[in-house]
A and B are shown apart, each in its own frame.
Chain A
Amino acid sequence: MFRTALRNVLAHKARLLMTVLAVMLGVAFVSGTLVFTNTISDAYQKSSAKGFDRVDVAVQPEYQDSKGNQVGRTPELTQALLEKAAKVPGAASATGVVTGFTAVADKDGKLVGGDWQSAGGNYWGTEDPRYPLVSGHAPRGKDEVLIDSATAKRAGYQVGDTVRLSVDGPVLTPVISGIFTTDDGNVAAGGSLTLFDTPTAQALFGKKGTYDEIDVQAAPGTSQAALKAELDKALPAKLVDTTTGEQLADDQAELIASSMSSLKQGLLVFAGIALFVGTFIIANTFTMLVAQRTRELALLRAVGASRRQVTRSVLIEAFAVGTVAGVTGLAAGVGIGAGLRSLLGSFGASVPDGPLVISPGTVVAALAVGILITMLAAWLPGRRAAKIPPVAAMSSVHAKATTKSLVLRNTLGALFAAAGVAVVLVGTTMDTDSGQGAMGLGAVLLIIGVFVLTPLLSRPLIAAAAPLLRAFGVSGKLARQNSVRNPRRTAATASALMIGLTLITGMTVMAGSLQKSIDKMASSAIRADYVVSMANRGPLSPDVAKKIAASDGVTASSPLRNGESRIDGGTEFLTGVDGASIRELTDLKVTDGSFGVGGTRVVVDKDRAKEYGWSAGSRFTAHFEDGKAQRLTVAGVYEGNEMLNGIILDNKVLTPHLSDPADMQVMVKTADGASDGVKDRLEKTLGANPAIKVQDKQDISNEIAKSFTLVLNMVYGLLGMAVIVAVLGVINTLAMSVFERAQEIGMLRAIGLDRRAVKRMVRLESLVISLFGGVLGIGLGVFFGWAAGELLGAKMPTYELVLPWGRMAVFLLLAGTVGVLAALWPARRAARLNMLAAIKAE
């Protein structure tokens, strides 16, 4: 039996190729994901372990929680504390660490590294072992800095060059005194690191005389644990927290592993989708292989093979196919893993170097997935093969495809689909958290239902296309009839395409609607012409607001300043604004009182008003972070949004209580409105600073759109895999159809259908099947997108459903293209068919 099965595999090489390809793609995706994530997390882990080499014990400030009317604060790690730590028994030395954001411009004034990955720090003393110098010398004073070698290379800087930097707004132009190497993970990932001497760093990062962390090195012979114990004894336990270097490395590794695991899971979901789609193709292929070999299998039965042996022979075939697919898929997956890494690198997010990690788990998973999926999909066809009666060997005619009734199938499908729709609809009425579960369940039920119903749906939907097909004459008519000839096969083929398009459309509808609503929220409430912020959304120096307010053509401007307070024993974040200007800069809907901010008069959003029972005229006491209290009066209640919410008060009241005032944004209105010239002038005023963004409403919209587009494109790319697998399925089905209908095609050619018309017939059949899958997928996708939007949009007042008609047309076109492309080869085969052989063949 085994030999027979293997012979069959070899005999049907070409036909099984598609199946192998389909499984292979899925396996490649799975193993590629595993290889990639293993490699990356391994590399990150190694580089982070290296990063903690020189730390034996880290001393960090212990955050003091808010209590009563006291705002929580972070205690300062002072110079005295550092000296104390350095003198603890067993300590060799102590290093003070200061970190912050530092943007570096290249020679053209552009930001080096991403918005988020521009870090700054301090160089300890004259020789800091953390950062070995490649050239130059340690920075001295505020006019000298060090930059990392990767950044220097990228921007073309050398020792002695002047570099433009920005920490929190103002531009600095120090000279590069040296270049260092580092194994800092951030730099390895494509960011930049700039080092100042310690006093300069402390001044720039707003931490005069204090440190973010104190790293203590143990004297030879002292263990990390012993040193930690000594430090715990010597330092005020309430204010600081000590951690050994080993512990830090472990924590870091765990963090990396967990962040990798969500990436891994995300990618595996898409791999799973591709495999799921692949399952249909495998089942389809084996069903057809069995049907074609009816006589052969019956002969086996006639000469004494048992049913089980016949099933087993089909399964052995599947095993062989699955093994080949698993092995080739694994090989392709290793390639994908390596490719993904270099792809990330080419996007500028370089990842730490390390060997490609192919764990035994990856190999086992790839083979298991390939073999199990294939055998599972081949199981039903195998059972069907066993049911072929031995007498079929004698009959000269093709065993007619059993036209099993679809009644049971349709009933089941209708039940599933109805239940799915109902659960999804119920889900839309629930709140966001509990609704998600219901929606997921409903989506799965509905997709299964539609799957099961596709054969039933194929007839009316394809009939609807009849008028179009009629334009193609006989080819169109025959194509339509051929496409509904085997509803199950058509359904399985179309379903494969449907899955991908459902997800793609659903994502697009959801993303489009969310983008629109966020966009509306951000821009409708703003009357300002420009919003100025840090590239990394970090804090801006109050100098920036001052500079803007003083520049020509600015009619109104206001910073949005952060403050924290305690009100009635709870924490409330405050937004400090310029009370006189804020009304001209925002357009928030006021539901009670007036939008009057000034002196002790403040405005609060609806949520806060509701929470505290405030209305216009209410009075309350806020306790600021310096411990002082202030009586405030509610002037009005407004509708908040993502950008502006909470308690808004005048900076004149807030700023005196802040030790280190910082602004999130500065809103600007100019006399001439938004224009390129005004924008240029503003940017110049701010010193053409690479770290500061001056954005008008359009820029903000574009930025929002950009982040959505990025995510969508990634999702498209990943789901593209499922579509490719579906294309293989369409090719497979068509090839089978052409093979099965060889005699008919031969006859049609004999009685006068020319090659072009034969090709057109096959192409149109393919087109009909693909568009059928496309229409189902887009329809389902819109429904899911709508439902998900209802759920998520409940929290957003500006939410509205946006149907991306253009995109949907593109998707339909894509489905059509899939159909036409998939038909290329089968249509050619059909047209090249040897007429005489085809007519004679039975």
Chain B
Amino acid sequence: MTTTPTAGRTTAVAARATELSKIYGQGETRVVALDRVSVDFRQAEFTAIMGPSGSGKSTLMHCVAGLDTFSSGSVRIGDTELGSLKDKQLTKLRRDKIGFIFQAFNLLPTLTALENITLPMDIAGRKPDKAWLDQVIRMVGLSGRLSHRPSQLSGGQQQRVAVARALASRPDIIFGDEPTGNLDSRSGAEVLGFLRNSVRELGQTVVMVTHDPVAAAYADRVVFLADGRIVDEIHGPTADSVLDLMRNLPGGNPQTPEFDVKGRTR
């Protein structure tokens, strides 16, 4: 099930959404967050999801990652259809096949950096693969800080722990929700570098929601959402090409970013 580092660029699909819809409320208060979205996330590919506030980009990621329920359509992770799964099975799927990186780091303050990294394996009751773990830790440059607690680490270091945690269990796919949203630009660049390296060198599949064209430029492919629909996509993006495209999106205006003072999209 795991993607070996040697696996080259394949066309196998790691996750697929088909005709995916998510509707909140009923009648007059009805809001369509996702409107029959179909999208594939291929193995060993780094995909960024972009779009203006309220475009449904976070909702899309949450539904595909098994964090949220959807109204209709289907989502597959590997061979597993998510729509038919109960909460327990969904939890197991997230535990075994999916890695997460959140905007607010989301580490447990009571655990050391190493314990945080191995937490998903601890939950599953599995022993971590020592060699792989070492490789991941070396890659994110945390070797000297494994016994530190999150409160003793900087924001960038904390997010590197989060990246290592996502990579350590060799999930089929890693989802990042604004992983650089709370970081300064240098730390953000580091984290994005690790994610890209994990795709290029380790064959990891990564899907990331972001509002930042610079961050999106690290991806292999950028998918644009507006009003709950996929409106465009770019392969091999640059910050400029992303900006250009966003300018022409309905509701999009990168000059006055739609995110709040704390750098998050709402």
A and B associate in one complex: yes
Instruction: Given A473-B122, A755-B91, answer yes or no on A743-B104 (Cβ-Cβ < 8 Å).
Output: yes
**Assembly CA distance A835 to B177 (angstroms):** 14
| Size category of the binding interface on chain B | 20 to 34
**Assembly CA distance A229 to B163 (angstroms):** 104
Q: Is A262 an interface residue (CB 8 A)?
A: no
Which residues of chain A in 815-842 are interfacial with respect to chain B, using CB atoms and an 8 Å cutoff? 835-836, 839, 842
- Whether the pair A474, B122 counts as a contact (CB closer than 8 A) is yes
Please, which residues of chain B bring their CB within 8 A of the CB of A749? 91
Segment with Cβ contacts to A, from B4-12, B48-56, B105-113, B226-234: B105-113
How far, in Å, is A745 (CB) from chain B's closest CB?
10
**Assembly CA distance A181 to B60 (angstroms):** 86
Residue of A nearest to B104 (CB): A842
Which residues of chain A in 493-548 are interfacial with respect to chain B, using CB atoms and an 8 Å cutoff? none
Please, which residues of chain B bring their CB within 8 A of the CB of A835? 67
Instruction: Given A485-B110, A747-B102, answer yes or no on A836-B67 (Cβ-Cβ < 8 Å).
Output: yes
Segment with Cβ contacts to B, from A475-483, A556-564, A776-784: A475-483
Please, which residues of chain B bring their CB within 8 A of the CB of A753? 91, 95, 123
How far, in Å, is B251 (CB) from chain A's closest CB?
21
Q: Is A750 an interface residue (CB 8 A)?
A: yes
- Whether the pair B92, A754 counts as a contact (CB closer than 8 A) is yes
Q: Is A304 an interface residue (CB 8 A)?
A: no
How far, in Å, is A634 (CB) from chain B's closest CB?
77
- Kindly supply a per-residue 1/0 record for chain A positions 233-244, scoring 1 wherever the CB is within 8 Å of any chain B CB and 0 otherwise: 000000000000
Please, which residues of chain A bring their CB within 8 A of the CB of B41? none
Please, which residues of chain B bring their CB within 8 A of the CB of A478? 108, 110
Instruction: Given A481-B111, A744-B108, answer yes or no on A752-B67 (Cβ-Cβ < 8 Å).
Output: no
Residue of B nearest to A480 (CB): B110
- Whether the pair B119, A751 counts as a contact (CB closer than 8 A) is yes
- Kindly supply a per-residue 1/0 record for chain A positions 124-137, scoring 1 wherever the CB is within 8 Å of any chain B CB and 0 otherwise: 00000000000000
Task: Enumerate the 10 nearest inter-chain pairs by beta-carbon distance, A residue then B residue, closest first.
Answer: A752-B95, A481-B110, A747-B106, A754-B91, A474-B122, A752-B94, A474-B123, A751-B120, A753-B123, A752-B123
Q: Is A28 an interface residue (CB 8 A)?
A: no
Please, which residues of chain B bring their CB within 8 A of the CB of A842? 104
Q: Is B125 an interface residue (CB 8 A)?
A: yes
Q: Is B76 an interface residue (CB 8 A)?
A: no
- Whether the pair B106, A839 counts as a contact (CB closer than 8 A) is yes
- Kindly supply a per-residue 1/0 record for chain A positions 751-779, scoring 1 wherever the CB is within 8 Å of any chain B CB and 0 otherwise: 11111110000000000000000000000
Which residues of chain B in 107-155 are interfacial with respect to chain A, using CB atoms and an 8 Å cutoff? 108-111, 119-120, 122-125, 151
How far, in Å, is A401 (CB) from chain B's closest CB?
11
How far, in Å, is B187 (CB) from chain A's closest CB?
17
Which residues of chain B in 80-102 are interfacial with respect to chain A, using CB atoms and an 8 Å cutoff? 87-88, 91-92, 94-96, 99-100, 102
**Assembly CA distance A474 to B95 (angstroms):** 13
- Whether the pair B123, A836 counts as a contact (CB closer than 8 A) is no
CB-defined A-B contacts under 8 Å, sample of 9: A473-B122, A481-B111, A485-B110, A744-B106, A747-B108, A751-B119, A752-B123, A755-B88, A757-B123
- Whether the pair B95, A836 counts as a contact (CB closer than 8 A) is no
**Assembly CA distance A836 to B102 (angstroms):** 11
**Assembly CA distance A839 to B88 (angstroms):** 19
Instruction: Given A396-B262, A473-B125, A474-B122, answer yes or no on A839-B104 (Cβ-Cβ < 8 Å).
Output: yes
Please, which residues of chain A bring their CB within 8 A of the CB of B151? 400
Q: Is B62 an interface residue (CB 8 A)?
A: yes
- Whether the pair B122, A477 counts as a contact (CB closer than 8 A) is yes
- Whether the pair A754, B110 counts as a contact (CB closer than 8 A) is no
Known: A473-B122, A748-B108, A842-B104. 14 other contacts (CB 8 A): A477-B122, A482-B110, A743-B106, A747-B102, A748-B119, A748-B123, A749-B91, A750-B100, A751-B120, A751-B165, A752-B96, A752-B120, A754-B92, A755-B91
Which residues of chain A in 774-830 are interfacial with respect to chain B, using CB atoms and an 8 Å cutoff? none
**Assembly CA distance A473 to B262 (angstroms):** 37
How far, in Å, is A757 (CB) from chain B's closest CB?
7
How far, in Å, is B194 (CB) from chain A's closest CB?
18
Q: Is B240 an interface residue (CB 8 A)?
A: no
Please, which residues of chain A bring their CB within 8 A of the CB of B122? 473-474, 477
Q: Give which listed residue, B88, B104, B123, contacts A751 with CB less than 8 A.
A: B123
Residue of A nearest to B177 (CB): A839
**Assembly CA distance A756 to B104 (angstroms):** 25
How far, in Å, is A654 (CB) from chain B's closest CB?
80
- Whether the pair A839, B94 counts as a contact (CB closer than 8 A) is no
Residue of A nearest to B95 (CB): A752
**Assembly CA distance A743 to B109 (angstroms):** 12
Q: Is B244 an interface residue (CB 8 A)?
A: no
Please, which residues of chain A bring their CB within 8 A of the CB of B120? 751-752
Instruction: Given A743-B106, A750-B67, A750-B100, answer yes or no on A755-B111 (Cβ-Cβ < 8 Å).
Output: no
Please, which residues of chain A bring their CB within 8 A of the CB of B62? 836
Which residues of chain B in 8-50 are interfacial with respect to chain A, using CB atoms and an 8 Å cutoff? none
**Assembly CA distance A752 to B121 (angstroms):** 9
Please, which residues of chain A bring their CB within 8 A of the CB of B88? 754-756
Please, which residues of chain A bring their CB within 8 A of the CB of B262? 396
- Whether the pair B94, A750 counts as a contact (CB closer than 8 A) is yes
Please, which residues of chain B bring their CB within 8 A of the CB of A481? 110-111
How far, in Å, is A500 (CB) from chain B's closest CB?
29
How far, in Å, is B8 (CB) from chain A's closest CB?
29
**Assembly CA distance A547 to B198 (angstroms):** 104
Q: Give which listed residue, A473, A485, A755, A836, contacts B87 with CB less than 8 A.
A: A755
Residue of A nearest to B89 (CB): A754
**Assembly CA distance A747 to B262 (angstroms):** 20
**Assembly CA distance A174 to B118 (angstroms):** 90
Residue of B nearest to A473 (CB): B125
**Assembly CA distance A481 to B119 (angstroms):** 14
How far, in Å, is B255 (CB) from chain A's closest CB?
25
Residue of B nearest to A754 (CB): B91
Please, which residues of chain B bring their CB within 8 A of the CB of A744? 106, 108-109
- Kindly supply a per-residue 1/0 record for chain B positions 182-199, scoring 1 wherever the CB is within 8 Å of any chain A CB and 0 otherwise: 000000000000000000
- Whether the pair B125, A752 counts as a contact (CB closer than 8 A) is no
Please, which residues of chain A bring their CB within 8 A of the CB of B100? 747, 750-751
How far, in Å, is B239 (CB) from chain A's closest CB?
27
Which residues of chain A in 203-223 are interfacial with respect to chain B, using CB atoms and an 8 Å cutoff? none
Please, which residues of chain B bring their CB within 8 A of the CB of A473? 122-123, 125
**Assembly CA distance A34 to B122 (angstroms):** 57
Please, which residues of chain B bring their CB within 8 A of the CB of A752? 91-92, 94-96, 120, 123-124
Please, which residues of chain B bring their CB within 8 A of the CB of A396? 262
Q: Give which listed residue, B68, B110, B111, contacts A836 with CB less than 8 A.
A: B68
- Whether the pair B119, A474 counts as a contact (CB closer than 8 A) is yes
- Kindly supply a per-residue 1/0 record for chain B positions 159-197, scoring 1 wherever the CB is within 8 Å of any chain A CB and 0 otherwise: 000000100000000000100000000000000000000
Residue of A nearest to B175 (CB): A750
**Assembly CA distance A750 to B90 (angstroms):** 10
Q: Give which listed residue, A485, A743, A751, A757, contacts B94 with CB less than 8 A.
A: A751
